[in-house]
Amino acid sequence: MAAGSYTWRQPQVRHWCSLALAMLPLLRQCSSRPIVQKPISECEPSHTNFTADSEVETELRHYAPRKWHGKLDYLLSTLKRRVVDRRIPGAVVELGTFEGQTSHMFRRLIDKFDPGRPFHCYDSFQGLPSRRPEDSKQVRKEDGEGGMRAGRDEFIERFKRERLRLPDGIHEGFFADIAASEYPSPIAFAYFDGDLYSSILDSFKMVYHKMSPGGVIMVHDYTTEGLFPGAKKAIEDFLRDKPEHGVLECYSIIGMVVKAESK
């Protein structure tokens, strides 16, 4: 059949139009449903009754990428309630930024509710390091060494396109290779999204001792399933001899650690 010679027949057009009209009420219903609060099965210290902070929801929800809707609400609401509202002293840091979508949301929240608080971002800008046995089998090509790469210039340009103020610090390198002096002190809120065992373990090593008492560490990929099971193993290994022992609560695949008071 020659290109451009295909035409829709009228019965087919009527069929698809009728089907689209019939689905409109269902689409409207789905778009207005609340978040289903159902953590994954292995999230034992689960936070099943999570409700988003009303101020965060009002100010920021329309910016959130839809695939992240529930997790972003949990992440941002925790930052607002446990750190900003309680005036925990210190910076907000994000280790593992990729293209910066979550970084944009942190910037918006800080600028709205706590504009004087420093915000620092860390990434290799070279992609992931190599996987270790703790990370289990690699499933996707982009989940191995060099995968999930976004350059520093691209990260900055995306902030400019969104007309957002840049982070107070953009630090380049694998986390353990970045000088300790480039991690602020104290830190009130840290988000670890390095995916792999070594990245999460190094994140704890660089940040944990700088956390304010009552400060919050949130770790993505707190799961024994999926693409990055090494992250959960790194949390357990690092905190085994620490007063926190493990996550305090979790939602979906985000685990939360609250820094204990110093003795």
List pLDDT tens digits, range 101-123: 999 999 999 999 999 999 999 99
90 or 140, which is more confident: 90
Rounded average pLDDT over 3-9: 40
Q: Is the distance from CB of 189 to CB of 83 less than 8 angstroms?
A: yes
What is the C-alpha to C-alpha distance for residues 28 and 172, in angstroms, rounded to an integer?
44
pLDDT at 1 over 90: no
pLDDT at 68 over 70: no
Residue 60: per-residue pLDDT:
85
Rounded average pLDDT over 83-108: 96
What is the C-alpha to C-alpha distance for residues 33 and 126, in angstroms, rounded to an integer?
39
Residue 107: per-residue pLDDT:
97
Residue 57, amino acid: E
List pLDDT tens digits, range 118-139: 999 999 998 777 777 878 776 7
pLDDT at 73 over 80: yes
Question: Helices marked H in the chain — which ranges?
Answer: 10-31, 54-60, 69-78, 101-113, 152-161, 197-207, 230-239
Give the bridge partners for 172, in sequence order.
123
List pLDDT tens digits, range 183-223: 999 999 999 998 889 999 999 999 999 999 999 999 998 88
DSSP for 189-243, written as a single string:
EEEE---SHHHHHHHHHHHGGGEEEEEEEEEE---SSSS-THHHHHHHHHHTTST
Q: Which helix (H) or strand (E) holds 184?
A: none
List pLDDT tens digits, range 161-182: 999 999 999 999 999 999 999 9
The model's pTM is 0.80
Rounded average pLDDT over 2-25: 46
Domains of the chain as residue ranges with CATH? 39-258 (3.40.50.150)
Please state, for a pLDDT cut of 70, what percent of the chain lies above it: 75
